[in-house]
Amino acid sequence: MLTFFNPEHARHDAEFEIFRGQQVPAFERAERQERVAQRLRERGHELRVPHADAAAVLARLHAPRYLEFLAGAWSQWLALDPANAQRLPYASVWPVRSLRDDVEPDNFIARLGLYSMDNGQTVGPGTWQAGRAGADAAHSAALAVAGGVRAAFCLSRPPGHHAGPDFMGGYCFLNQAAVAAQTLRDAGAARVAVLDVDYHHGNGTQTLFYRRSDVYFASLHGDPRTEYPFFLGHADERGAGEGLGCNLNLPLPAGSAPEAWFHALEVALAQLAAWGADALVVSLGLDTAAEDPICRFGLTGDDFSRLGQRLAATGWPTVLVFEGGYANESLALNTVRVIEAFDTGARP
């Protein structure tokens, strides 16, 4: 499978995060992508550097002031105190419910809170550059598919599916799956389906397309009553306005077995087919693996091969976008299983 690699990803590599009230080593590290890339190369896969600039697509998806903040956040942080080069900023206040979010504060930490949905991880010196290169990789992969390639893989981090129009969170800053979907639409696909198989609901992707009828978002994920992101991903969220009926959430209880997961997958794929999708973007989160340290589904190696084969069987032109997965060794193996099973399943 044609694979586009984010060459700038390691410029964002926070050493720690806040997890369950404690400072712990970060789960989302550069090693994730490097392990996958190494395994793909060992298996003979070519990794290409992105060739297309996603700036125009990003400007259609994310709010201008949010993009401006991300682009300048680190320099603004350093301008407050040169010693800030040795520490990362963390939000401490958020504009919830009755508080206003239409006026951007002058205070940097307040602005960080304005554009954040959590404080699990934050911006660093290379976050913007890593995110932009990831968007370029997604854009390049989608252009390749729009040009006739059967499928392409965007191997990039930081991930993107929690990033919304004007907010970051869940390790995500720019929404690469949304970039791929919008690119396919701009290139002529009439109806683009986004299928999110990450353990966590893709709240950012849902929000971006919730009122649109040309992009259908379907997600199978841990029940948000107990699992991150908690405040979106329920089954009664079906879209709004022109997008009513173009959103499908299939929340599953933590600990669900593979067969329950694959049943949900079949429900989602059947709905996408009935809707009339003519292209597919997969938010390929692999944190559904049994050994993942922060998620609670039980998929094993053979299940990921099965997933790849099933995605190929849809027949849709497909862009796969790398999302979550934090057991690094099995993450690399399972990514290769999906990609190679897709390639095998896609053959006549």
Which residues are marked as active site?
162
Whole-number pLDDT of residue 120: 85
- Whether residue 348 has pLDDT greater than 50: no
Q: Is residue 255 situated within a structural domain?
A: yes
Cis amide leading into 229 (omega within 30) = yes
Q: What is the pLDDT of residues 115-151, one digit of tens each?
A: 999 988 899 999 999 999 999 999 999 999 999 999 9
User: With bands split at pLDDT 50, 70 and 90, how would you rate the model's confidence at 21?
Assistant: confident
Tokens of 71: 């682009």
The predicted model gives 259-265 an average pLDDT of: 98
Q: Is residue 69 situated within a structural domain?
A: no
Q: Is residue 240 situated within a structural domain?
A: yes
Three-state DSSP class for residue 154: strand
Instruction: Let me know: does 196 contact 218? Beta carbons within 8 Å.
Output: yes
Whole-number pLDDT of residue 19: 81
Q: Is residue 91 situated within a structural domain?
A: no
Percent of the chain scored above 90 by pLDDT? 95
Instruction: Let me know: does 262 contact 306? Beta carbons within 8 Å.
Output: yes
Instruction: Let me know: does 210 contact 197? Beta carbons within 8 Å.
Output: no
The predicted model gives 234-256 an average pLDDT of: 98
Q: What is the pLDDT of residues 34-85, one digit of tens each?
A: 999 999 999 999 999 999 999 999 999 999 999 999 999 999 999 999 999 9
Q: What is the pTM of this model?
A: 0.97
The predicted model gives 78-95 an average pLDDT of: 96
User: With bands split at pLDDT 50, 70 and 90, how would you rate the model's confidence at 18?
Assistant: confident
Q: Report CA Rg, the chain.
A: 19
Beta strands in the chain (DSSP E): 2-5, 16-19, 22-25, 47-48, 151-155, 192-196, 215-222, 247-252, 279-284, 318-322
Q: Is residue 74 situated within a structural domain?
A: no
Q: Which residues contact 148 (CB under 8 A, 6 or more apart)?
A: none
User: With bands split at pLDDT 50, 70 and 90, how would you rate the model's confidence at 347?
Assistant: low
**CATH (domain of 333):** 3.40.800.20
Whole-number pLDDT of residue 40: 97
Half-sphere exposure of 150 (CA within 13 A, CB side): 14
Q: What is the pLDDT of residues 305-323, one digit of tens each?
A: 999 999 999 999 999 999 9
Print the domain residue range for 8.
2-52+121-345
Q: Is residue 245 situated within a structural domain?
A: yes
Determine whether 267 is exposed, middle or buried from the number of CB atoms within 10 Å of its CB (0-12, 13-18, 19+). middle
Q: What integer best gives the mean pLDDT of the chain? A: 96
Whole-number pLDDT of residue 346: 67
Q: What are the DSSP calls for 211-278, one per residue?
A: T-SSEEEEEEEE-TTTSTT-SS--TT----GGGTT-EEEEEE-TT--HHHHHHHHHHHHHHHHHHT-S
Q: What are phi and psi of 162, to 5 degrees?
A: -90, -10
Q: What is the pLDDT of residues 268-292, one digit of tens each?
A: 999 999 999 999 999 999 999 999 9
Number of domains in the chain: 1
Q: What are phi and psi of 77, to 5 degrees?
A: -65, -45
Q: Is residue 48 situated within a structural domain?
A: yes
Q: What is the pLDDT of residues 190-210, one digit of tens each?
A: 999 999 999 999 999 999 999
Q: Is residue 79 situated within a structural domain?
A: no
